[in-house]
Amino acid sequence: MSIYDFSANTIRGKETSLEYYKGQVLLIVNTASKCGFAHQYGELQKLYEQYKDQGFTILGFPSNQFGGQELETNEEVNVFCQINYGVSFPLFEKIEVKGADKHPLFAYLTREAGFEGFDTENSSGRLLHTMLSEQDPAALANDEIKWNFTKFLIDRQGNVVKRFESSVEPLEMESAIAGLL
């Protein structure tokens, strides 16, 4: 099994098989427009522009599961991303990324790359760890997505290579991405 066995609806509602991206290095990200990590859209766009001609694509999957931080409609999400960050990488419809109703793609991703903890040397990682420890300590003991902007790096064969938590800034992943191109 690989990510090519899944499909999802684009932000415009067109069902797309992830097989369309076969042979590319992918970064799959769950996003939220009103999140404190939304600034990462800017760095994601920079990475996309820098490496897209070498076979790199970012796939953004908006979700409203963490603090209700996503806009109401897919169109609002699309407009927000374009106006504020110039996002030109593919965006998909809002989906569930954790829990019983999570999209099958995210069930697969979290099985393949489990939660290894937050880097508590990083202030954002420390903040997320503290928040979850206080509000939902059981969440730290499973592989579910913990917050917006969790990122999964996929190689050209569709294999999950690495999971990066929300607190990891996109440019910090540049060498890992470049190493797969």
CA quadruple 26, 31, 33, 37: dihedral sign: negative
| 20, amino acid identity | Y
Chain-centroid distance of CA 143 in Å reads 15
Confirm whether 81 is a catalytic residue.
no
Q: Active site residue: 3, 11, 27, 35, which one?
A: 35
Strands 56-62 and 25-31: parallel
| 47, amino acid identity | L
Q: Specify the residue for token string 């409609």.
A: 73
Q: Specify whether the CB–CB gap between 147 and 171 falls below 8 A.
A: no
Integer Cα distance of 131 and 109 in angstroms: 24
Q: Which residues of 61-89 are buried (b: 16+ CB within 10 A; e: fewer)?
A: bbbbbbeebbbeebeebbebbeeebebeb
Which DSSP letter does residue 72 get?
S
CB atoms within 10 A of CB 130: 12
Task: Return the active site residues.
Answer: 35
